[in-house]
Amino acid sequence: MARSLWPIENRRGRFAGSAPCDAIFAIFPTMPRFRADLDHINPYTPGRSIDEVAAELGIGDVAKLASNECPFPSWPEVVEAIAAAGAGVNRYPDNDQRVLRSATAAHLDVPEDHLWFGGGSSDLLRAIGLALGGPGTSTVYATPSFVLYRVITHIAGSKPVEVPLTADWVHDPPRLVEAIRDDTTLLYLCNPNNPTGTHLSFSDVKWIIDQVPDRVLVVVDEAYLHYADAPDFATAVPLAIERDNVVVTHTFSKVYGLAGLRVGYAVGSPATIRMLRKTQAPFPVTAVAQAAATEALRHQDRVADRVTHNRRERSRLSAALDYLGIEHAESQTNFLFHRFAGDPSSFALHGVIVRAGIDGWIRTTVGLEGENDRFLGALQAIESDL
Ligand SMILES: Cc1ncc(COP(=O)(O)O)c(C=O)c1O
Domain contains 328: yes
- The SS3 assignment for 63 reads strand
The whole domain housing 56 covers: 50-73+301-385
Domain contains 6: no
Q: Of 49, 67, 47, whose CA–CA distance to 194 is shortest?
A: 67
The average pLDDT across 193-205 equals 98
- Report the CATH number that the domain containing residue 257 is assigned in CATH: 3.40.640.10
Domain contains 58: yes
Q: What is the pLDDT of residues 238-269, one digit of tens each?
A: 999 999 999 999 999 999 999 999 999 999 99
Q: Report the alpha-carbon distance of residue 340 to residue 48 in Å, rounded.
A: 18
**How much distance in Å is there from the Cα of 33 to the middle of ligand 1?**
31
Of ligand 1's atoms, which has the minimum distance to the CA of residue 262? Answer: 10
By the 8 A CB rule, do 267 and 108 touch? yes
Question: Which of 253, 334, 363 has most ligand 1 atoms within 8 Å of CB, for mutation?
Answer: 253
Choosing from 276, 297, 318, the residue where a domain stops is 297
Paired sense of beta strands 217-221 and 184-190, if any:
parallel
For the Cβ of 190 lying below 6 angstroms from any atom of ligand 1, the answer is: yes
Same domain, 108 and 254: yes
Same domain, 359 and 217: no
Domain contains 290: yes
pTM of the model: 0.92
Q: What is the pLDDT of residues 281-305, one digit of tens each?
A: 999 999 999 999 999 999 999 999 9
For the Cβ of 146 lying below 6 angstroms from any atom of ligand 1, the answer is: yes
Same domain, 155 and 119: yes
Choosing from 297, 327, 348, the residue where a domain stops is 297
Same domain, 239 and 150: yes
Instruction: Give the range among 215-224, 271-280, 321-330, 339-348 with minimum mean pLDDT.
Output: 339-348
Question: Helix 369-385 and helix 300-323: axis angle, to 10°?
Answer: 20
Same domain, 96 and 54: no
Task: Provide the pLDDT for residue 20.
Answer: 53
Statement: residue 5 has pLDDT above 60 = no
Question: Which of 44, 70, 116, 121 has most ligand 1 atoms within 8 Å of CB, for mutation?
Answer: 121
By the 8 A CB rule, do 217 and 133 touch? no
Average model confidence (pLDDT) across the chain: 92
Domain contains 196: yes
**How much distance in Å is there from the Cα of 190 to the middle of ligand 1?**
10
Q: Domains in the chain: how many in total?
A: 2
Q: Report the alpha-carbon distance of residue 266 to residue 115 in Å, rounded.
A: 6
Sign of CA dihedral 282, 288, 291, 292: negative
Q: Of 197, 275, 189, 272, whose CA–CA distance to 235 is shortest?
A: 189
